[in-house]
Amino acid sequence: GENVEQHPSTLSVQEGDSAVIKCTYSDSASNYFPWYKQELGKRPQLIIDIRSNVGEKKDQRIAVTLNKTAKHFSLHITETQPEDSAVYFCAARGGQNFVFGPGTRLSVLP
């Protein structure tokens, strides 16, 4: 089955800097890769996703890149703000279900 790894597990950046979170997956048949943001005590919220027929997708300060050959995808957040502080989960569609990465705790320091 699918296995998703995520790095780093924790990340601290200064406000205004960029943050990058990387995930790798094992199933070459996976074709959908969402990213979720989960604030403390809240639900996971879909912030961006990418399908395997696209190499990059951008939405304002957030972008995701996908390298199918290497089986890895990354989340890029530019001009970070304190409200970006949260746990971020990547996921890959393994079979018909999502497999989540273990999460990255992002702290944006003022």
Partner 1 sequence: DTEVTQTPKHLVMGMTNKKSLKCEQHMGHRAMYWYKQKAKKPPELMFVYSYEKLSINESVPSRFSPECPNSSLLNLHLHALQPEDSALYLCASSQARGVYEQYFGPGTRLTVT
Note the residues at the interface with partner 1 (CB under 8 A): 31-32, 34, 36, 42-46, 49, 51, 87, 89, 93, 96-98, 100-103
Rounded to whole angstroms, the Cα distance separating 37 from 33 reads 14
The residue assigned the tokens 């890149």 is: 65
* Contact call for residues 15 and 108 (beta carbons, < 8 A): yes
The CB-of-32 to partner 1 minimum distance in angstroms stands at 5
Closer Cβ to partner 1, 19 or 87, answer by number:
87
- Closest among 74, 62, 59 to 25, alpha carbons compared: 74
Output the CA angle 73-76-81, nearest 5 degrees.
Answer: 150
The CB-of-24 to partner 1 minimum distance in angstroms stands at 15
Closer Cβ to partner 1, 12 or 31, answer by number:
31
Closer Cβ to partner 1, 88 or 108, answer by number:
88
The CB-of-59 to partner 1 minimum distance in angstroms stands at 13
Closer Cβ to partner 1, 15 or 59, answer by number:
59
What three-state secondary structure class fits 42?
Answer: coil
